[in-house]
């Protein structure tokens, strides 16, 4: 481990990051197996949820700091090893320009980390969707979220979620989740799962967006059918942690995300 960290080649951190991400994916599998068999109303279930939450929080932080180290290292090497011209300042600009241009557009926030997960909505933060795009020839659209407290607290954190093109294994849906900008919002201001639970009783959250997106049926050559299934469980407004696992609807929704439910149209690209 230390050897890897100390190594000066570009792949050093990446290896560790990959391992942690793998660990994360395994934890997610475990999570998906365990949650359904728990009695949602038992205190035990809450405790287990909490433990999962903490584990994910930890690995998230590890990945985050490793990515930062990785970026720093890459920049180092980039500045040492010359390349063509002033062109590679571009990367530096992205890192520093947060104030340079006073205006909004374009990645003003630097990339923090990327995670591959089965549960892109479970990361302990609340997000609000602000966009969705079909990316080049990707099979799935990418959704854009910003911190739910971006307005009240000016939190610059954003994230993108895009389903990975499956690498043959058809049983698991993986999502690429990219995080940009550091959270500056007050964590105390964030409602915790258990509070939320008490606050509003169970609703069929997972189905609330279906109707509105049903207009999005297109028989183009671009697997747009995907979109209809994505809307089945891509619940932009849902709290991004496990919280609602205590209610049956939510547990079912997550089941859909992780298992290949027959209710979900097959990926026509598979």
Partner DNA sequence: GGAATTTGACCGGG
Partner DNA sequence: CCCGGTCAAATTCC
Contact residues for DNA, defined by CB under 7 A: 90, 93, 101, 103-109, 128-133, 135-136, 142, 144, 158, 160, 180, 203, 208-213, 215-216, 231, 236-237
Q: Which is nearer to DNA, 129 or 252 (CB)?
A: 129
| Nearest 10 degrees: Cα torsion 222, 226, 231, 232 | 160
Q: Which is nearer to DNA, 174 or 235 (CB)?
A: 235
Q: Which is nearer to DNA, 27 or 109 (CB)?
A: 109
SS3 call for 8? coil
Minimum Å gap between C-beta 8 and DNA is 26
Q: Which is nearer to DNA, 43 or 99 (CB)?
A: 99
Minimum Å gap between C-beta 2 and DNA is 34
What are the tokens at 151?
């307005």
Minimum Å gap between C-beta 208 and DNA is 3
Minimum Å gap between C-beta 154 and DNA is 12
- Extended beta strands in the chain, E state: 111-117, 127-134, 141-147, 158-163, 175-180
CA dist 96 and 186 (Å) reads 24
Cα 133 to Cα 14, 26, 145, 160, distances in angstroms? 28, 29, 12, 10
Q: Which is nearer to DNA, 31 or 141 (CB)?
A: 141
Minimum Å gap between C-beta 140 and DNA is 12
Q: Which is nearer to DNA, 72 or 133 (CB)?
A: 133
The answer for residues whose C-beta is within 8 angstroms of residue 161's C-beta and 6 or more apart is 120, 121, 142, 143, 145, 175, 176, 177, 234
CA dist 205 and 248 (Å) reads 11
Minimum Å gap between C-beta 215 and DNA is 5
């Amino acid at each position: 481990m230390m050897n890897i960290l100390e190594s000066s080649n570009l792949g050093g951190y990446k290896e560790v990051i990959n391992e942690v991400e793998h660990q994360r994916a395994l934890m997610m599998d475990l999570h998906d197996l365990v949650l359904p068999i728990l009695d949602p109303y038992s205190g035990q279930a809450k405790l287990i949820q909490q433990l999962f939450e903490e584990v994910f929080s930890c690995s998230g932080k590890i990945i985050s700091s490793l990515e930062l180290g990785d970026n720093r290292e890459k920049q180092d090497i980039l500045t040492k090893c010359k390349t063509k011209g002033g062109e590679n300042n571009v990367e530096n600009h992205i890192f520093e320009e947060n104030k340079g241009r006073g205006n909004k557009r374009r990645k003003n926030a630097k990339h923090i980390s990327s995670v591959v997960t089965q549960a892109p909505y479970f990361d302990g933060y609340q997000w609000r969707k602000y966009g969705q795009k079909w990316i080049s020839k990707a099979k799935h659209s990418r959704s854009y979220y910003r911190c739910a407290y971006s307005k009240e607290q000016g939190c610059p954190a954003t994230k993108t979620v895009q389903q990975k093109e499956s690498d043959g294994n058809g049983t698991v849906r993986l999502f690429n989740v990219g995080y940009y900008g550091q959270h500056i919002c007050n964590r105390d201001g964030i409602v915790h799962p258990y509070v939320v639970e008490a606050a509003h009783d169970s609703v069929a959250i997972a189905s609330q967006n279906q109707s509105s997106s049903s207009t999005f049926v297109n028989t183009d050559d671009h697997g747009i059918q995907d979109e209809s299934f994505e809307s089945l469980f891509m619940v932009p407004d849902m709290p991004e942690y496990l919280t609602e696992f205590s209610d049956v609807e939510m547990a079912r929704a997550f089941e859909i995300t992780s298992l290949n439910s027959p209710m979900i149209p097959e990926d026509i690209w598979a």
